[in-house]
Amino acid sequence: MGQLAEPLPSTVSDEQQKQDNTTPIKEATTSEKIQLHIDEVTLKFPTSTGTDFTALDKVSMEVRENEFAVIVGPSGCGKSSLLYLTAGLNSPTDGEIKVAGKVVDGPSAERGMVFQGYTLFPWLSVSENIEFGLKQKKMPAPERKKIVQKYLKEVGLENFADRNPKQLSGGMKQRVAIARSLANDPEILLMDEPFGALDSQTRMQMQQLLLQVWEHSKKTVVFVTHDIDEAIMLGDRVFVMGARPGRIQKVLDVNIPHPRTLDMVMEPDFISLKREILSLLHDDLSEMH
């Protein structure tokens, strides 16, 4: 709980390190309550050679209520696998995952997920997509309409309510996907490289939009990315993963206040964090060879 940043590598001055450690880690809105509890989770896939492939090896992590947690790691290190396990779309070989105190044993509307690929239902309009989860809950129509309206506005798509997903740009599609998950008011929002397919301009816009939405909703978010800038831009804490087998190497606090802006990437705090994450990922890569 309340993990502090571990000592930075020699590239960062001791002074700066002290500064980092003395700034308050917790934001006023982040509670001490643990919302996501991943306990020694191992995931193995059977292979044709007979020996199992270990995608995740005893991964443990905790995410606080209302926290924006980012998992960063190279492609293939098991980020998606970890999110799918958390969503309940797959079961761990070993270990346990709890969300809001309940053991995950299958998918549920309490664990919303935004996927890397576009997963809007193409036969439904934008507002019907957002309404989908509410209909599953058998919520009465007037209430549904109100919530749909709220989230359409939240992601800035009021004028696109009746469009078909096919008529939307990639960024708009992901905005609908975010709205669709949030409309369900889940206990946690899982995001698997949701901006990975977008061009860098759109991607930065989406990051800003997501931060705004998060500040309004104060959901617990677990956001997966392989983009270090994105990780620091968004996260309260960054969980740095390593590959083969997939594991959490280190947890870093991002002590950069909100609202975060695009020019933040030039600031020393940002750069030193980026350097640390880069070196962690780099060392992990070179160990493999």
Ligand X SMILES: Nc1ncnc2c1ncn2[C@@H]1O[C@H](COP(=O)(O)OP(=O)(O)O)[C@@H](O)[C@H]1O
Q: List contacts with other proteins (CB under 8 A).
A: 84, 87-89, 107-109, 111-113, 115, 117, 119, 121-123, 132-133, 136-137, 164-166, 177, 180-181, 184, 190
Interacting span for ligand X (CB under 6 A) from 61-69, 72-80, 98-106, 271-279: 72-80
Q: Which residues pair with 223 in a beta bridge?
A: 70, 191
What is the distance between the alpha carbons of residues 235 and 240, in angstroms, rounded to a whole number? 12
- For the segment 49-88, give every residue that binds Mg ion (CB under 5 A): 80
- Does position 77 bind ligand X by CB under 6 A? yes
- Does position 91 bind ligand X by CB under 6 A? no
Residue closer to other proteins, measured from CB, 78 or 186: 186
Residue closer to other proteins, measured from CB, 35 or 181: 181
Complete DSSP assignment for 239-273: EEEETTTBEEEEEEE---PSSP-GGGGGSHHHHHH
Residue 167 gets which letter from DSSP?
G
Find the binder of ligand X among 16, 60, 75, 136 (CB under 6 A): 75
Complete DSSP assignment for 4-51: PPPPPPTTS-HHHHHHHHHS--S-TT--S-EEEEEEEEEEEE--TTSS
- Does position 225 bind Mg ion by CB under 5 A? no
What is the distance between the alpha carbons of residues 91 and 101, in angstroms, rounded to a whole number? 17
What is the distance between the alpha carbons of residues 128 and 136, in angstroms, rounded to a whole number? 12
45 contact choice in ligand X, other proteins, Mg ion, none (CB below 5 to 8 Å, kind-dependent): ligand X
- Does position 78 bind ligand X by CB under 6 A? yes
237 contact choice in ligand X, other proteins, Mg ion, none (CB below 5 to 8 Å, kind-dependent): none
Binding site for Mg ion (CB under 5 A): 80
